[in-house]
Amino acid sequence: MVNKSKNNLVTLEEYIIQAQNRFPGATGELSQLLRDIGLAAKIISREVNKAGITNILGFEGSTNIHGEAVKKLDIFADGQLISALERSLITCMVISEENDGVVKLGARNGKYIVYLDPLDGSSNIDVNVSIGSIFSIYMREARFDQTLRDDDALQPGVKQVAAGYVLYGSSTTLCYTTGLGVSMFTLDPSIGEFILSDRQIKLPEHGSIYSINEGSYNSWPLGLKKYIKYCQEEDAETNRPYSARYIGSMVADIHRTLIKGGIFIYPHSKRYPSGKLRLMYECNPLSFIIEQAGGMATNGKERIMEIQPEAIHQQTPIYIGSKENVTTVMEFLEEYQEASV
Ligand code: AHG
Ligand code: MN
Ligand code: MN
């Protein structure tokens, strides 16, 4: 961990500039984009904290008002992030969970394409459980004299130039990567700055936590059922039985996995034949973070970041976390492949 003596604090802004200075040819545009997202995150964080107060008051009113407040926060986060990106004129298009189509911004010649899950885990807002925002950044491939097409956004995750998330939890944490490791920042609300808390996070090779919505057990592929039973068996050498932890906000579940190791799974099932989570603004960015921290992410057969996307809101199954855990679940899936749903 970084030394946090009072005179040695590094803010997100300083850190981004320092990182940029290591690349003499850098134009500073990606740095600006990351700073814009940092600013939007502070505004969303403030609103998320206020939503807590609204919710407490909401219990005295009707459940409808409570529900509307939750929805409003999704839309608020979307609006804040998009207008932050619009202001700096370096993003040509944004794809967000909250918008059906591609949103083309004023800066048609902007260099970057940004995917957003503005508020992840929104069903947890009304119960004061951690939620987050996720972003994924690509370089546009069309030349500036070519018309920008929606398909320009359909790039595989390996082409991400940066990705990250903000977790609104007991504190607000921002984590991002540009492909040179994962850095983590914690918001100090008293000065309104994200302060560097770790510059090279590595997750354990093997973890003792599995994270999955076990309510869907009956419709899982057989290999997955067998793997979860394996996690629950006793074996001192491999530290089993593992603990089960499932928050229901992917950002929060991945944040725990990043720090403590283990595996997070959202499989395909009868209800979600292609998985539930979105490839472009949930799975790719969080896979980039986990891989950069030394972990793995797959759909059961293929590396998540190598999937060629066909649609902006495409879903995928995901198995993500410590290398050893992901490798083991893949062995189970392979062994029982024929019998799967
Ligand atoms: P969102 O709030 O952006 O729609 O995402 C919710 C997602 C994800 O955060 C979480 O891992 C998953 O939905 C939980 O789904 P289940 O309730 O089916 O477990
Ligand atoms: Mn989400
Ligand atoms: Mn969302």
244-292 confidence digits (pLDDT tens) = 999 999 999 999 999 999 999 999 998 999 999 999 999 999 999 999 9
Average pLDDT score over the chain = 90
Give the distance (Å) from ligand 3 centre to CA of residue 220: 24
Angle at 305 between CA 39 and CA 307, to 5 degrees: 125
pLDDT computed for residue 52 by the predictor = 59
Asked whether residue 340 carries a pLDDT value surpassing 60, the answer given is: no
Please report the atom of ligand 1 found closest to the CA of residue 266. Answer: 11
Q: Does residue 241 have a cis bond before it (omega within 30 degrees)?
A: yes
CA neighbor of 39 nearest in space, from 185, 178, 156: 185
The half-sphere exposure of 315 on its side-chain side, counting CA atoms within 13 A, is 12
The CB-side HSE value for 63 (13 A sphere, CA atoms) comes to: 1
- What is the residue extent of each domain of the chain? 6-198, 209-340
Of 81, 120, 254, best ligand 1 pocket probe by most atoms within 8 Å of the beta carbon: 120
CA of 97 to the centre of ligand 3 (A): 6
Say how far apart CA 21 and CA 239 lie, in whole Å.
44
Kindly state the tokens that stand for 104. Answer: 């083309």
More confident residue, 161 or 5: 161
Of 59-63, 171-175, 234-238, minimum mean pLDDT range: 59-63
Amino acid at 339: A
Q: What is the CATH number of domain 6-198?
A: 3.30.540.10
Please work out whether the CB of residue 129 comes within 6 Å of at least one atom of ligand 1: no
pLDDT category, 146, cuts 50, 70, 90?
confident
* CB-CB contact of 166 with 172 (8 Å): yes
First to last CA, the chain: 44
Burial of 303 (0-12, 13-18, 19+ CB in 10 A): middle
117 lines ligand 1 (CB under 6 A): yes
Q: Does any ligand 1 atom lie closer than 6 A to the CB of residue 130? A: no
pLDDT for res 6: 53
In this structure, which residue's CA is closest to atom 11 in ligand 1? 250
Neighbours of 315 (CB within 10 A): 19
Q: Give the helix, strand, coil percentages of the chain, each rounded to 5.
A: 45, 20, 35
Q: Identify the CATH class of 209-340.
A: alpha beta
Burial of 308: CB neighbours in 10 Å, binned 0-12, 13-18, 19+: exposed
Share of the chain above pLDDT 90, in %: 77
Identical fold between 6-198 and 209-340: no
pLDDT in the model for residue 54: 59
- Whether the CB of 120 sits within 6 Å of ligand 1: yes
pTM: 0.93
Q: Which ligand places an atom closest to the C-alpha of 214?
A: 1
Among 26-35, 130-139, 300-309, 312-321, name the one with the lowest average pLDDT.
Answer: 26-35
226 CA to centre of ligand 3 in angstroms: 31
Atom of ligand 1 nearest to the CA of 117: 3
